[in-house]
Amino acid sequence: AEERENLTWELFGSASRELAQEVAADGFVPDLILSIARGGLFVAGALGYALDVKNLHVMNVEFYTGVDQRLDLPVMLPPVPNVVDLTHKKVLVADDVADTGATLKLVRDFCADHVADVRCAVVYEKPASTVKCEYVWKRTDRWINFPWSVLPPVVERAGQVLDA
Ligand code: 5GP
């Protein structure tokens, strides 16, 4: 058996289409899609076209990796979306994978007090995820290779730290 999930660009095309169909079949009509950078950008773009939603927002959430550091919790990086843009809206959060679910938990909590409805769509969900996503293309406990991150960058930036 394969040790990894290998999502190719081609498979991503049909996966995102099927994910959109799940959302549509459920009758959920989002006012906006909130993507979680960076992996969620691809998912959000594909869902935006398939669901005919033009209102796309971006949130930067990362497990901060400075010099050999990884936090236990994800953090929001600036720019943080304007809460006014989300208020009373039906929000579809788009990400590539819910692993521990910590990232989506942060985003859900950020939205919860302001929006009318917040639901999550992911390509993959792992069994340990604390957030149970409303829309999931595939459940797996394997490591996933995504087409956008399987290759190393074409540049080398030693000791790169995130700009605040
Ligand atoms: P979380 O643990 O907060 O649900 O996921 C945090 C992030 O870890 C994901 O958005 C993704 O960038 C990364 N991640 C988690 N599991 C995998 C995986 O199986 N493959 C890849 N490429 N990244 C993963």
End-to-end CA distance of the chain: 43
Q: Which atom of ligand 1 is nearest to 103's Cα?
A: 3
Q: Which atom of ligand 1 is nearest to 146's Cα?
A: 22
Task: Report the alpha-carbon distance of residue 146 to residue 149 in Å, rounded.
Answer: 6
Task: Report the alpha-carbon distance of residue 16 to residue 96 in Å, rounded.
Answer: 10
pLDDT of residue 58: 96
pLDDT tens track, the chain, 164 positions: 569 999 999 999 999 999 999 999 999 999 999 999 999 999 999 999 999 999 999 999 988 655 456 667 899 999 899 999 999 999 999 999 999 999 999 999 999 889 999 999 999 999 999 999 999 999 999 999 999 999 999 998 876 665 55
Whether the model clears a pTM of 0.95, i.e. scores above it, the answer is no
| DSSP code, position 87 | T
Residue to substitute in 99, 103, 145 for testing ligand 1 pocket (most ligand atoms within 8 angstroms of CB): 99
Q: How far is the CA of 30 from the centre of ligand 1 (A)?
A: 24
Q: Which atom of ligand 1 is nearest to 102's Cα?
A: 3
Q: How far is the CA of 92 from the centre of ligand 1 (A)?
A: 19
Residues with CB under 6 A from ligand 1: 39, 74, 95-103, 143-144, 146, 149
DSSP per residue, 19-64: HHHHHHHTT---SEEEEEETHHHHHHHHHHHHTT---EEEEEEE--
pLDDT of residue 68: 56
User: Phi and psi at residue 15, in whole multiples of 5°?
Assistant: -60, -45
Task: Report the alpha-carbon distance of residue 148 to residue 156 in Å, rounded.
Answer: 17
Closest residue by Cα to atom 10, ligand 1, is: 97
